[in-house]
C-alpha cells in the first residue's frame, strides 16, 4: 500500500500502532485542503476528523469574556490537532488556517477505534506530558538506556567474604586468592558494620607501613561501609564510586550484605569511560593533567546523551566528576593542616547535582573562626584561576571563593543568615536561594552543618519566602497568551523562561515544607510524598525539567560542533515535530507551576 503523504508512521504517536492498525489507518485517511482564513474546528463543537498538517500553518485561539480573540498555540507541518474534539465531543479551542493548509484527515470513528485497540496510542492523547515523553522514547532507547533501569542486584556480584578483625595479613591475602575476590569484609565486635579490606590495603600495609605478615587486619579496614541496595540502579553505583573515590561498594538487601560490586562489573554493562576520567583525576599530579581529564567530560556527556541516558542520572554523574576536579585543586592549594579549618561548598547547578556541560563557577567557603592563615585570600584567588584554566569560567556574578562576599567565617555566615531573616530584600532573597543549594565538596563538613540547619529554619518566615518566590514570576514563559511559542531576536531562552522557574519554584516549596534535598528532582518527589504537591503536577514537573534540560543540551552540543560557545537559546523552528510539541507542552506546565507558586505564596498580580 502506498504511503500517505505527510503521515509518517515511524514517528510518535503513529509508531505506537502495530502493522495491522497502521495499514487500516493508511487505507481510510483522506487529504484535505483548507484555504487561508477558514475555521477548521470551532470551540465547543465536535469534529469529524483529527487533522495532521502536511503544509501550512494553523493557529488555535479562544475568545475571552469580552469576545476578544486570544491566540493559544500555532501548529505547523507534522503537528496533530482535533483529537480532543473527537474524544470529548467538543473542542476546547477554535482552529483557523493562517495560510492555505493541506492536511491528512483521520475520520473520527477510525481514530476512536484505534485508541480502543491500542492503549499506548490512546495514552498519547489522553495523558499528560510525562506519559507522552515516555511513549516518545519507546523503541528509541539504546541498550545502555535500557540498562538505566537495571538494578544492582541483577549485576554479577562478587561474593561477600567475611573475616574476623584478628585475621593476619598473610591469612587475609590467602583468603583473597582462595575466594577469587578483590576485597574482604572485616568483622569487628567494636563496630556495628564490617569494614572493607582491599588488595591495595594489604599491599600498602606491607610496603609502606612495613607491618609484619602476622599483623591483624582489623585496623586496616576502611569504614564506614559504602553500600548500595540491590534495588538501586547500576548507574547510581557508578556515580557513588566516582564521587567517593572508590572502585568497589558493598551490596545490601535490606540490612543483609549479599555481595560486593566493583567498577569492572558495572563497566560490563556500560560503555562509558567515566571511570577513566575518575582514575585520571586521582592520578593527576599537574594542572595540565587535571585539565586533560576534565576535557574528557564533554565527550562523556555527548556519548552518554547519544546513547539515551536520562537527564537526572547523567547530571548526577557529571556533577560527581566535577566535584572531584574541585576537590583535587582545593587540596593542592590548601595545606593538610588547614583543610580541617575550611569547608568548600559547590553552589548553583553543581550544588544541586544538575550540571551537564561545564558552566561558570559557583562556589563558597566557610572558614573556622579560629583559623589564622595569611595565605587564605591568595589561595582562593588562585583556586578560581585554576578552575578557569581547567575549563570552568569565572562566574559573571562573582559567586566564587575569590570574592570575600562568598568567603566568610562561621560567625560571619551566621550574621549573614540573621541579616537574611531580618532584611528580606531582593539581594537577600537571591543570596539565600544560591546558598540553599550548597553542597560540601572538600574540607571540614562539620563547619557547614550548623549553618545548613539555620538555613532551613528560615523556611518558617512567610515574608522571606514570598520575597524569594517572586523570582519564579520574574521571567515570562516564552509562550504568548496561553501557548504560542515565542522566539526572541536571538532565540528562545530556555533557562530564563523554563528551567529557572521550575528549579527556583521547587527550591522555595522545599524550604517552606522543611525538605532538605538539594536536587530539583529529589525536591519534587519529596514534595509529592509530603502531600505538598499534587502527584500529577509533580510528575509533569519532573518530566518537564528533564525535557527542557535535554533540549538545551541538544542545542549546546550543536553549538560546540559549530565552534560556538554553548548558551541557553533554542530555535523552535529547527526542532523536530515531537520536540516542538514537548517544548510547548513543557512550557505550559511551567506556566501552570508559576500559577501554583503564585497561589501558594499569595503573591497576587
pLDDT digits over 358-390, tens only? 777 899 999 999 999 999 999 999 999 999 998
Mean pLDDT of 155-184: 90
- Grid coordinates standing for 205? 600495609
How far is Cα 228 from Cα 89, in angstroms, rounded to an integer?
Answer: 51
Yes or no: say if 149 and 233 are a contact pair by the CB < 8 Å rule: yes
Fold (topology level) of 463-600: 1.20.120
Task: Note the pLDDT tens digit of each residue in 572-584.
Answer: 888 876 688 788 8
| DSSP three-state, residue 127 | coil
Q: What is the 3-state secondary structure (H, E, C) of 48-92?
A: CEEEEEEECCEEEEEECCCCCEEEEEEECCCCEECHHHHHCCCEC
Residue 28 has pLDDT above 50, yes or no: yes
Quote the pLDDT of residue 151. 83
What is the CB-side half-sphere exposure of residue 341 using CA atoms within 13 A?
13
Residue 300 has pLDDT above 60, yes or no: yes
Q: Which of 75-89, 131-145, 288-302, 423-437 has the lowest mean pLDDT?
A: 131-145
Quote the pLDDT of residue 449. 94
Residue 171 has pLDDT above 50, yes or no: yes
Find out whether the peptide bond into 394 is cis, omega within 30 degrees of 0: no
Quote the pLDDT of residue 377. 96
Higher pLDDT, 219 or 429: 219
Task: Note the pLDDT tens digit of each residue in 442-495.
Answer: 999 999 999 999 988 888 888 888 888 999 998 888 775 545 677 777 889 999
Task: Note the pLDDT tens digit of each residue in 4-13.
Answer: 777 888 887 8
Yes or no: say if 74 and 55 are a contact pair by the CB < 8 Å rule: no
Quote the pLDDT of residue 267. 61
Quote the pLDDT of residue 144. 46
Task: Note the pLDDT tens digit of each residue in 508-528.
Answer: 999 999 999 999 999 999 999
Residue 143 has pLDDT above 60, yes or no: no
Mean pLDDT, the chain, integer: 86
The distance from CA 160 to its chain's CA centroid, rounded to whole angstroms, is: 33
Residue 560 has pLDDT above 80, yes or no: yes
Quote the pLDDT of residue 566. 87
Cα distance from N-terminal residue to C-terminal residue, the chain: 57
Quote the pLDDT of residue 246. 82
Higher pLDDT, 147 or 422: 422
Residue 74 has pLDDT above 90, yes or no: no
Rg (CA), the chain: 28
- Grid coordinates standing for 283? 592520578
How far is Cα 128 from Cα 135, in angstroms, rounded to an integer?
Answer: 11
Mean pLDDT of 73-96: 87
Quote the pLDDT of residue 145. 47
Quote the pLDDT of residue 180. 81
Mean pLDDT of 586-602: 92
Residue 147 has pLDDT above 50, yes or no: no
What is this structure's pTM?
A: 0.67
Domain 14-126 and domain 463-600, same fold? Reply is: no
Mean pLDDT of 19-26: 92
How far is Cα 284 from Cα 288, in angstroms, rounded to an integer?
Answer: 8
| Domain residue limits, the chain | 14-126, 463-600
Task: Note the pLDDT tens digit of each residue in 173-200.
Answer: 999 988 888 899 999 999 999 999 998 8
- Grid coordinates standing for 410? 562561621
List the one residue out of 16, 84, 2 whose CA is nearest residue 50.
Answer: 84
Assign 2 a pLDDT band (cuts: 50, 70, 90).
low
Find out whether the peptide bond into 59 is cis, omega within 30 degrees of 0: no
CATH superfamily of 14-126: Jelly Rolls (2.60.120.10)
List the one residue out of 148, 39, 165, 136 whose CA is nearest residue 97.
Answer: 39
Q: What is the DSSP letter of 240?
A: H
How far is Cα 140 from Cα 576, in angstroms, rounded to an integer?
Answer: 15
Task: Note the pLDDT tens digit of each residue in 319-350.
Answer: 888 898 899 999 999 999 999 999 999 998 99
| Largest Cα span, the chain | 92
Residue 88 has pLDDT above 80, yes or no: yes
Q: Are strands 195-198 and 183-187 parallel, antiparallel or unpaired?
A: antiparallel
How far is Cα 468 from Cα 429, in angstroms, rounded to an integer?
Answer: 5
User: What percent of the chain clears pLDDT 90, i.e. is strictly above it?
Assistant: 47
Yes or no: say if 47 and 31 are a contact pair by the CB < 8 Å rule: no
Amino acid at each position: 500500500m502506498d504511503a500517505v503523504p505527510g503521515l509518517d508512521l515511524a514517528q510518535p504517536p503513529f509508531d505506537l500502532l502495530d502493522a495491522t492498525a497502521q495499514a487500516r489507518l493508511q487505507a481510510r485517511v483522506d487529504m484535505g485542503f483548507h484555504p487561508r482564513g477558514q475555521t477548521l474546528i470551532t470551540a465547543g463543537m465536535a469534529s469529524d476528523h483529527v487533522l495532521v498538517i502536511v503544509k501550512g500553518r494553523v493557529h488555535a485561539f479562544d475568545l475571552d469574556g469580552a469576545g476578544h480573540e486570544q491566540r493559544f498555540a500555532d501548529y505547523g507541518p507534522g503537528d496533530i490537532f482535533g483529537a480532543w474534539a473527537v474524544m470529548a465531543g467538543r473542542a476546547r479551542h477554535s482552529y483557523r488556517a493562517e495560510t492555505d493548509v493541506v492536511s491528512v484527515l483521520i475520520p473520527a470513528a477510525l481514530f476512536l477505534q484505534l485508541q480502543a485497540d491500542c492503549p499506548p496510542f490512546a495514552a498519547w492523547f489522553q495523558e499528560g506530558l510525562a506519559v507522552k515523553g515516555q511513549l516518545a522514547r519507546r523503541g528509541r532507547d539504546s541498550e545502555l538506556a535500557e540498562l538505566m533501569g537495571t538494578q544492582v542486584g541483577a549485576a554479577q556480584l562478587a561474593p561477600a567474604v567475611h573475616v574476623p578483625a584478628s585475621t593476619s595479613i598473610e591469612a587475609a591475602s590467602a583468603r583473597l586468592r582462595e575466594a577469587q575476590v578483590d576485597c574482604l569484609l572485616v568483622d569487628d565486635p567494636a563496630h556495628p558494620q564490617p569494614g572493607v579490606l582491599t588488595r591495595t590495603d594489604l599491599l600498602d600495609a606491607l610496603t609502606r607501613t612495613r607491618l609484619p605478615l602476622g599483623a591483624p587486619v582489623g585496623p586496616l579496614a576502611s569504614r564506614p561501609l559504602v553500600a548500595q541496595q540491590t534495588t538501586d540502579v547500576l548507574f547510581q553505583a557508578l556515580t557513588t564510586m566516582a564521587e567517593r573515590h572508590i572502585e568497589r561498594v558493598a551490596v545490601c538487601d535490606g540490612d543483609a550484605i549479599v555481595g560486593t560490586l566493583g567498577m569492572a562489573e558495572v563497566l560490563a554493562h556500560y560503555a562509558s569511560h567515566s571511570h577513566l576520567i575518575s582514575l585520571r583525576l586521582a592520578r593527576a599530579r599537574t594542572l595540565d593533567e587535571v585539565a586533560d581529564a576534565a576535557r574528557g567530560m564533554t565527550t562523556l556527556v555527548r556519548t552518554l546523551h547519544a546513547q539515551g541516558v536520562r537527564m537526572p542520572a547523567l547530571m548526577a554523574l557529571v556533577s560527581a566528576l566535577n566535584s572531584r576536579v574541585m576537590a583535587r585543586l582545593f587540596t593542592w592549594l590548601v595545606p593538610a593542616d588547614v583543610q580541617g579549618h575550611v569547608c568548600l561548598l559547590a553552589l548553583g547547578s553543581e550544588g544541586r547535582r544538575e550540571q551537564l556541560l561545564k558552566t561558570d563557577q559557583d562556589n563558597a567557603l566557610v572558614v573556622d573562626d579560629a583559623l589564622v592563615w595569611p595565605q587564605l585570600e591568595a589561595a582562593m584567588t588562585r583556586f578560581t584561576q585554576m578552575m578557569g584554566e581547567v575549563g570552568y569560567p569565572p562566574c559573571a556574578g562573582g559567586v566564587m571563593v575569590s570574592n570575600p562576599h562568598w568567603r566568610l567565617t562561621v560567625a560571619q555566615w551566621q550574621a549573614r543568615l540573621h541579616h537574611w531573616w531580618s532584611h528580606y530584600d531582593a539581594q537577600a532573597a537571591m543570596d539565600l536561594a544560591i546558598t540553599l543549594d550548597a553542597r560540601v565538596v572538600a574540607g571540614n563538613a562539620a563547619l557547614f552543618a550548623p549553618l545548613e540547619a539555620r538555613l532551613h529554619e528560615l523556611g518558617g518566615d512567610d515574608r522571606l519566602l514570598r520575597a524569594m518566590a517572586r523570582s519564579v514570576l520574574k521571567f515570562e514563559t516564552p509562550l504568548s497568551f496561553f501557548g504560542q511559542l515565542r522566539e526572541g531576536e536571538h532565540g528562545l531562552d530556555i533557562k530564563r523562561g523554563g528551567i529557572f522557574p521550575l528549579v527556583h519554584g521547587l527550591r522555595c516549596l522545599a524550604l517552606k515544607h522543611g525538605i532538605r534535598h538539594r536536587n530539583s528532582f529529589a525536591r519534587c518527589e519529596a514534595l509529592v510524598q509530603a502531600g505538598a504537591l499534587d502527584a500529577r503536577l509533580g510528575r509533569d514537573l519532573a518530566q518537564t525539567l528533564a525535557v527542557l534540560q535535554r533540549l538545551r543540551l541538544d542545542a549546546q552540543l550543536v553549538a560546540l560542533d559549530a565552534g560556538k560557545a554553548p548558551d541557553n537559546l533554542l530555535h523552535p523552528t529547527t526542532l523536530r515535530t515531537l520536540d516542538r510539541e514537548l517544548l510547548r507542552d513543557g512550557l505550559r506546565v511551567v506556566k501552570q507551576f508559576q500559577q501554583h507558586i503564585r497561589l501558594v505564596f499569595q503573591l497576587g498580580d
